[in-house]
Amino acid sequence: MKKSLLYICLVILACSAGCNDKDFLNVAPTNVLQNDQLWNDEGLILSVLADLYDRYPDRQTDVNNSPIPSMVVQTIDNWGEFARFDEAFASENGQYWRHGASDYPYVFPGMIVKGGAEVTYWDYAYIRELNIFIAKCGTSVKLKQEVKDRFIAEARYLRAVVYFEEVKRVGGVPLVLQPMEYDYKGDAAYLQHARAKESEIYDFVISEMDTVKKYLPSSPISKTRATVGLALATKARAALYAGSIAKHGVTTPQVSLPGGEVGIPLAKANEYYTIALNAAKELISSGSYSLYKKNADNLTQNFISLFIDKGANPEVIFAKDFKLQSGRVQPWTLWSQPRSNAEEQQGGRLNPSLNLVQSFELLDNTFAPLNINAAGGGYVYYSDPLDLFANRDPRLAATVMLPGSDFKDKKLDIWAGYIRKNGDIVTGDNFGAKAKLEPGGPDVQVVGYDGPVNNLEFSAQSGFIVRKYMDPTVGSGRIGTQSEVWWIRYRYAEVLLNAAEAAFELAQPDVAAVI
Amino acid sequence: MKKRLRIPDIIRVARPCLHIAVWLIFFALSAHAAPTDITITGKVTDEQGAALPGVTVSVKGTSKGTSTNGNGVYSIAVADKNAVLVFSFVGYVKQEITIGDQKEVNVKLLTDSKGLGEVIVVGYGTQKKESVTGAISGVTSKDLERVHASTVSATLAGKIPGVSFRMPDGRPGASANIQIRNFGNALYVIDGIQKDAGQFNNISPNDIESITVLKDASAAIYGVRAANGVVVVTTKRGKPGSGNAINVDAYTGWQNWSRFPKTVNAYEWMLGKADAEMNAEDPRTDITKAELEKWKAGTEKGYQSFDWYDFIIKKNAPQHSINVNATGGSENINYYLSVTRLDQKSVLGREFDFNRTNIQSNVDAKVAKRLKVGVQINGRIEERDNPGVPGGDDYWAPRFALFRNRPTERPYANDNPLYPNDIGHNTENWAVQTKAISGYWTEDWRVLQTNFNGTYETPVKGLTLKGMYSYYYADKLMNGHEYTYDTYTYHPENDTYVRTGGSSNPWRERGTHKVLENVLQGQINYNNTFGRHTIGGTFVSERIKRRELDVWVHAVPKSNVLPLIQFSDMDTYNDADWTEARVGYIGRFNYSFSDKYFLEVAGRYDGSWKFAPDKRWGFFPSVSAGWRLTEEPFFKRWLGSNSILTELKLRGSYGELGDDDIGIGAYDYLPGYTYGTSTVILDGTVIRGSRDKGVPNNRLSWFVSKIADIGLDYQLWNGKVYGSLDFFNRKRSGLRGRKYDVLVPSEIGYGLPDENVNSDAQKGGEFSAAYTTQVGKVNFVVGGNVSYSRSRFLESYKPIWGNSLDHYRNSIEDRWNNIYWGYEAIGQFQSQEEINKYPVNVDGKGNKTLLPGDIIYKDMNGDNVIDDQDQRPIGYQTTGNPTVNFGFNLGVRWNGFDFAADFSGGSMYSYNQNWEMRWPFQNGGNLLKQFYDDRWHREDPFDVNSKWIPGKNPPLRFNKGDHSNYNKPSTFWLHNVHYVRLRTMELGYAIPQQILDKVRFKKARIYINTYNLFSLDNVKDLGIEPEIADENGLQYPQNKLVNIGVNLTF
């Protein structure tokens, strides 16, 4: 009996050891930062800000046909969107649907259109988080004032950019500058904000740039965070948009609303152009940036390097950056590397169109299609495929991999087959396929190892492969390595062009010419 | 308003004291003296007169008991001559004998094919079968032993009424999807501890004594994770006083794919391609008749067909298993020690393997008169080992190759095995998928579960205390290394092999995962009979804490040679660590009167770490009752004395079960930021981003699942026929949904959180019957079961419809769930004239892409164009378990021979043909033979004006998925599947005792056994296995398995 008692005691002890259920069930999370831990720690606030930077809207198209909302963005980590229009085709099974799309509605959230609701860029979730950041960062007591000012200025910069992207698409939008929360009381009227005028949103963007400029670093060294240069470039771009809408909107009076939510009065055009020109001039005169001329003797190479050279690149104002072995790399080269020297069993996806190629001017400033057919019937013969593209704007060869050009020190193998004297075509349906040119003759290669083969994925189906942003580094085409080439969002060259355009619109062609 | 005190409140108030108080009560209790004893001895045998070891012999109404030794002999002391001895043994009919003046009682036990014998495992205990009031079914080792599948779930097909079954994937070590009444993922309880499906599947089937499923309110006792039913597993124990025995079960088997779609040879492929190209809108082909002749002859180099199926799929992949266990017991100690080794190769060559070693050690010891302690140790090493193949699933590329690779492609350049050929898509070139070329991938699980328990039988009659502590440790080690390799092109002109492709993506990954789990259980049981009243009570407290750690690292190694991961090569290190904590208090009360009326009331008060502190606790009550009509005198009178109905029990139950798996994260109630949501490069520095978690969701809590079940158990002809019938309805309310009536502007920037507003139901029933008889020396058992369970959405919160089409097409209100929408194919065009005259625009292009044989869709809305609006419901879900499941089994024994066959089947689910299974030459790859053999085609493929020859399938097109034949789901491609298959068949022969005695074997039996030998179904023509779900037909199908094996007992 004594023994039994002992056992009972043991059991009771064991059972009651953890008897406090409340403590037992309180398990601390391992990846959640509580507000009080976060807002007084500069490193952690930067972590929040970094995530906000990460959602910068790189949206050039906004067609929401993609089943995955995050896939609708035309950037370096999303090649397929570049095949939406007629600049390029997609060479991958399952992506051919992109061709021939012609209808790109810009629709407000909640509107229903045929084929399902398609929503334009309308990212109030992002705005809400920016607003929270601006509010919470302001309350931080331990942060140094200049650090706090810079953080808030950066968040305000990003918020202005979101409004700029929204106003571009749908005109005036509700301007929400405080985080909102519903109180579940059944009446949501207090959360409603009317659409602002289109001009008001542009004015907001412009004035925010003026404000944040005061707190941002003026040095051009940072290419990945907001700087004075970026604020000015953005201001110039936004003002130019506003000015153009004001000036040219008169030709489409149906695209306007009486309350000014859509459309900007013509009277404001000059004001905006002036703002744009001045902002651009301010940036130009700062001398912080200049055009990229590291390979001035080879303009094709210069234009290639402009996009992939991350070392003290004087032309880049703002970019989305990547870094090898950080978990933040991009697959642009993996996706479109020429199949014949690909580092994986894939590549060749983005095929620029003939239309794009022929839209590069000849060196004499004229436009012409590729010279293929001889005047008296028959063909023009070239000894080197590259000769077909000779004497064109050097940017062509820097934008498009032409048949016969090199990538990673290997010549591309793009050719479609043989034409027999009788006009018959001998070709194959696979990379480097073989066939007999004459009955009984030997099997010879009749199509390039990069294609083109119709309908064969990864082959250069248009005869071209994209070159811009392609990374010549070994490993850039491997799934496990990929590339750290950045994606440039603002370039000094654009500022010059914007200045020129604004000056031209302000009837100052002499100023435009000088720039 | 007066505040009503609800039950949970009472418990909450009482909880802190309750724990200790109940234990303390028993300090006050004292022992009482035992009377003088008479010793009874005897021998227990089976119908054939063979000794039965391990039979439990107990004295009725007391806790006294022993078991027979290896020779079937027992000895037990009883108080007086009125004592009644009860002889029970799993699988045999219980016998009760009043001693009277006998000193020796010899008993012959009769086989009981009812399955569970006299007791059945219920939540936290066992119950006599006749007193069970819930919908509970089960199987024992007897039923499982003849299924030689690698995982436990795969052994259950058709065995248990109400358990639905589907095994879409049959790769080595794969598990079946089993669900209780199609409720969703069940909770598994193994030897009293809550576990997951992975742990359930990988215990050795040899070590399982019984599996019970709790299908209704009887599951509520497991609380917040029990809403989808509970599977309770008990492992084998030694029988006290049974002597020692060593058992061996060993088999070796040969596996083959049960079915896989066939593809064409090179000649057929080329002809098909020519056919397809001439069927294009712009008919033109480069293929010539002369070329086709060469392919047909297949003699000239370069014109030979290659059979990838024969190259990749190896016949008769071996599977072996051996289980050795030692079991037995003396008066005070009983044990079961077992080790099982399973080796399973796959048909994909011999490098894709699964193997597992299990140990089970169950020892119980009576350390003091009233105290028993026990330990159960369950451990295993589970290994998956195969070549490392680029892509997520290493089993994918070899199967994909079967459809992707053309028969005109060859694995080796110039057929030289030293040079893998560059076929342009080399991931599918089987020649490189070896550990030597492509690399390796292994995943090992090492798992140890240890339960320690103590049972103290208090001096108060019927009152026992039980404590259990369980520690679980699981460790995963995954290593993958994909090598770089080269593929070649042969140049005959100069006899050289040039590297033209391959992989230059070295990939090295390592994943580790650890699970640490502690469970503490205290239990008080009380069971006593007062005259005709029997009462029972159980109180349990349970605490579960589970921590999981996961690390995954990735590197780009510099070489294929060394396995160590270097820091400088790494680019990813993912780290995770999370902990779950749960507490439960369980109470159950049973009352029965005169073995006629039964009542059970139970409840569980459960807390989960997942919810906000003020929403953590939930109370889950259940009640059930049973009434044995056949014990009622009036009913007996009404039936008359010669009635065939000998037992009829009505049962009813109702319970509320909880489900904390509502799709929200554990900390959604907390505000704050999630760390590590992104990786951002700012000024060249890598920064891990943090993102706002969003508005805390504190409006959602568990949903409640209410199950009502009404059923009956019956026996006819004194148990020759028996079975049960059940109907149930589960209503779940408080499912996640959104309130739409307050329109909040989207500029608020977040969606209002879901609330507990939706509801659904799962309805169905099941029936089982078995018949057992003996004709001369032949024992005969036949049984079957059928179950039906379908889910229905009830209502959401104030749904809004734009128009009636929107309502028709998108509403789910009060409709069956998982409806498959598509087009109705009403035939195929018979001629070009018919196409030309056809009024409806079928292809969306004015029918200009159509040919004779193309599919005609029904224009449901009569607007003369086929578009989205012409869809209607055409089938059931394609991925879930069948709505109707059934099983049928047959067993015959004669002298030493035994034969058993188990059939199982399913119905009311769909298979959708898509991708390779729908459009010919998908991906430009191979062509399915069925599309070639029976197709609409022209008499002369090269002459567009020649006569059309009809077939079952539309005319071929080359990789044209956007054609109207292929670009929409329709009744042409969707099949509502029915199947019944011979799941297992076994023929065994037990060597006669006279021979065995000479070699000192107690038992020896040899058997031949099959698994999935054949299937009768309606998808045979498609070449697919009836249980696969993948639309492309490329799933690894179940194996057809033939084994030979032995059972030995020393």
What pLDDT does residue A70 have?
Answer: 38
Which residue, among A21, A176, A430, would best test binding to B if mutated, counting the most B CBs under 10 Å from its CB?
A21
The verdict on a CB contact (< 8 Å) between A343 and B505 is yes
- Chain B, residues 918-947, CB within 8 A of chain A, namely 923-924
Least confident of A75-89, B116-130, B620-634: B116-130
Q: How far is B1025 from chain A (nearest CA, A)?
A: 27
Of A182, A427, A478, nearest to B744 by CB-CB distance is A182
Which pTM was predicted?
Answer: 0.85
d(CA B246, CA B1050): 5
Which residue, among A1, A2, A8, would best test binding to B if mutated, counting the most B CBs under 10 Å from its CB?
A8
d(CA B228, CA A406): 62
Split at pLDDT 50, 70, 90, the class of B933 is very high
Strand partners, B263: B928
Strand partners, B678: B689
For A421, residues 6+ apart whose C-beta sits below 8 A from its C-beta are none
Whether A1 and chain B come into contact, CB under 8 Å, resolves to yes
Q: DSSP per residue over B573-632, as a string?
A: EEEEEEEEEEEEEEEEEEEEETTTEEEEEEEEEEEETTS-GGG-EEEEEEEEEEEEGGGS
The verdict on a CB contact (< 8 Å) between B672 and A109 is no
Of A109, A323, A429, nearest to B686 by CB-CB distance is A323
Contacts of A51 in chain B (CB under 8 A): 677-678, 680, 689-691
In the numeric block, which tokens belong to residue B733?
């309310």
Span B656-667, average pLDDT: 83
What pLDDT does residue A102 have?
Answer: 55
Residue with tokens 């039988």: B457
Whether B681 and chain A come into contact, CB under 8 Å, resolves to yes
For the beta sheet containing B56-59, the strands, ordered from the edge strand earlier in sequence to the opposite edge, are B65-67, B56-59, B84-88, B95-98
Q: How far is B685 from chain A (nearest CA, A)?
A: 9
Short-list B928, B951, B927, CA closest to B938: B951
What pLDDT does residue B118 have?
Answer: 64
d(CA B207, CA B152): 11
What tens digit of pLDDT does each residue of B343-373 get?
999 999 889 999 999 999 999 999 998 999 9
What pLDDT does residue A107 have?
Answer: 58
In the numeric block, which tokens belong to residue B431?
């020649």
What letter does residue A219 receive in the DSSP assignment?
-
d(CA B910, CA B881): 10
How far is C-alpha A298 from the chain's CA centre?
A: 27
The verdict on a CB contact (< 8 Å) between B456 and A11 is yes
Between B86 and A6, residue with greater pLDDT: B86
Q: Which phi and psi angles does B693 have, rounded to 5°?
A: -70, -15
What tens digit of pLDDT does each residue of B885-923 get?
999 999 999 988 999 999 999 999 999 999 999 999 998
Query: Above 50 in pLDDT, residue B34?
Result: no
- Chain B, residues 444-483, CB within 8 A of chain A, namely 454, 456, 465, 467, 469
Q: Count other Cβ atoms within 10 Å, centred on residue B3.
A: 6
Residue with tokens 């904590």: B581
Q: What ipTM does this complex have? A: 0.92
Residue with tokens 């084998």: B236
Residue B768: which region, alpha, beta or left (left: phi > 0; alpha: psi -120 to 50)? beta
d(CA B72, CA B138): 27
Between B142 and A324, residue with greater pLDDT: A324
Of B16, B554, B581, nearest to A27 by CB-CB distance is B581
Strand partners, B536: B527, B590
Kindly calculate the radius of gyration of chain B based on its CA atoms and give it in whole angstroms: 33
Contact B578, A30 (CB under 8 A): yes
Span B866-870, average pLDDT: 93
Q: How far is B27 from chain A (nearest CA, A)?
A: 8
What pLDDT does residue B64 have?
Answer: 76
d(CA B1027, CA A213): 65
Burial class (CB in 10 A: 0-12, 13-18, 19+), A267: exposed
d(CA B138, CA B1036): 30
For B729, residues 6+ apart whose C-beta sits below 8 A from its C-beta are B707, B708, B761, B762, B763
- Give the 3-state secondary structure of residue B72: coil
What pLDDT does residue B62 have?
Answer: 74
The verdict on a CB contact (< 8 Å) between B368 and A431 is no
Contacts of A38 in chain B (CB under 8 A): 672-673, 690
Q: DSSP per residue over B732-797, as a string?
A: EEEEEE---SS---GGG-SPPPPEEEEEEEEEEEEEEEEEEEEETTEEEEEEEEEEEEEEEEEE-S
For B814, residues 6+ apart whose C-beta sits below 8 A from its C-beta are B792, B793, B794, B795
Short-list B66, B36, B34, CA closest to B53: B66
Alpha helices per DSSP H over A287-325: 299-308
- Give the 3-state secondary structure of residue B665: coil
In the numeric block, which tokens belong to residue B86?
């009860």
Residue B777: which region, alpha, beta or left (left: phi > 0; alpha: psi -120 to 50)? alpha
Q: Count other Cβ atoms within 10 Å, centred on residue A263.
A: 23
- Chain B, residues 712-771, CB within 8 A of chain A, namely 742-750, 752
Span B980-1006, average pLDDT: 91
Short-list A247, A243, A175, CA closest to A208: A175
Residue with tokens 């130009």: A284
Contact B177, B907 (CB under 8 A): no
Q: Which phi and psi angles does B101 have, rounded to 5°?
A: -95, 0
Ranges of beta strands (E only) in A232-320 are: 316-320
For B794, residues 6+ apart whose C-beta sits below 8 A from its C-beta are B731, B758, B759, B760, B761, B813, B814
d(CA B332, CA B367): 7
The residues of chain A scoring below 70 in pLDDT are 1-19, 59-73, 100-119
Contact A14, B469 (CB under 8 A): yes
The verdict on a CB contact (< 8 Å) between B469 and A14 is yes
Between B956 and B95, residue with greater pLDDT: B956
Contact B650, B625 (CB under 8 A): no
Strands B56-59 and A410-411, sheet pairing: unpaired
Residue B91: which region, alpha, beta or left (left: phi > 0; alpha: psi -120 to 50)? left
Q: How far apart are the first and last CA of chain A?
A: 103
Which residue, among B504, B697, B741, B809, would best test binding to A if mutated, counting the most A CBs under 10 Å from its CB?
B504
The verdict on a CB contact (< 8 Å) between A455 and B673 is no
Averaged pLDDT of chain B: 90
d(CA B488, CA B501): 6
What pLDDT does residue A274 have?
Answer: 97
The verdict on a CB contact (< 8 Å) between A53 and B425 is no
Residue with tokens 């028996």: B722
d(CA B335, CA B457): 20
Query: Above 80 in pLDDT, residue B544?
Result: yes
Residue with tokens 């959708």: B912
Contact B138, B121 (CB under 8 A): yes
Burial class (CB in 10 A: 0-12, 13-18, 19+), A309: middle
Q: DSSP per residue over A324-359, as a string?
A: TTTTB-B-HHHHHS-GGG-SSS----EEE-HHHHHT
Split at pLDDT 50, 70, 90, the class of B143 is confident
d(CA B376, CA B365): 12
Contact B217, B655 (CB under 8 A): yes
What tens digit of pLDDT does each residue of B995-1026 get?
888 888 888 999 999 999 999 999 999 999 99
Span B234-256, average pLDDT: 91
For A440, residues 6+ apart whose C-beta sits below 8 A from its C-beta are none
